[in-house]
């Protein structure tokens, strides 16, 4: 059975997490009906550096000083999932530039995963205003504009 690694790319608030959750739900539903798989944890998993900042009480507590550690944790989670043969792994980070997701792609390739990247959202001024108003972590409009400016297609 083929294994897939999906790299989501987009600025904060563009809808990456929503897309990932909907895709995961579709995969779970499909697998439960067609393949009758019981171990849901091996079907589809979402991994994000944002999860590193979720406190035990469930609140998001971002700290830019430990962003490097958050991404190292995220890479290790991806490796762990691949070692456990998770069928579909979705990387839910901004991934605005290639260097941000190259290591993930190398790990996926080394583990026999088919790699796909998907850009979520648009980078026009109107869309960026919408994203600033709806992003889940309170990322300010200026930071979202910086992400859009450095975005590599």
What is the mean pLDDT of the segment spanning 29-54? 78
CATH number for region 3-150: 3.40.50.300
Position 136 scores a pLDDT of 87
Per domain, the residue ranges of the chain are 3-150
- Given a cut of 60, whether residue 35 has pLDDT beyond it is no
pLDDT digits (tens, 9 = 90+) for 87-134: 999 999 999 999 999 999 999 999 999 999 999 999 999 999 999 999
Among 14-18, 36-40, 52-56, 104-108, the range scoring the smallest mean pLDDT is 36-40
Write out the chain in H/E/C secondary structure. Answer: CCEEEEEEECCCCCCHHHHHHHHHHHHHHHHHHHHCCCCHHHCEEEECHHHHHECCCCCECCCHHHHHHHHHHHHHHHHHHHHCCCCEEEEECCCCCHHHHHHHHHHHHHCCEEEEEEECCCCCHHHHHHHHHHCCCCCCHHHHHHHHHHCCC
**Residue 108, pLDDT score:** 98
Residues of the chain with pLDDT > 90, as a percent, come to 82
What global pTM score does this model have? 0.91
């Amino acid at each position: 059975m083929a294994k897939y690694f999906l790299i989501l790319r987009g600025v904060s608030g563009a809808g990456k997490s929503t897309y990932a959750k909907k895709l995961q739900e579709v995969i779970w539903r499909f697998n439960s009906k067609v393949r009758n798989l019981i171990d849901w944890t091996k079907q589809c998993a979402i991994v994000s550096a944002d999860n590193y900042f979720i406190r035990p009480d469930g609140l998001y507590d971002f700290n830019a000083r430990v962003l490097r550690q958050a991404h190292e944790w995220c890479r290790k989670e991806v490796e762990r999932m691949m070692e456990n043969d998770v069928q579909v792994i979705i990387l839910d980070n901004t991934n605005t530039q290639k260097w941000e997701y190259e290591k993930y792609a190398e790990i996926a390739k080394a583990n026999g995963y088919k790699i796909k990247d998907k850009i979520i959202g648009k980078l026009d001024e109107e869309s960026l205003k919408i994203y600033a108003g709806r992003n889940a972590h309170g990322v300010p409009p200026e930071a979202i504009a910086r992400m859009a400016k450095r975005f590599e297609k």
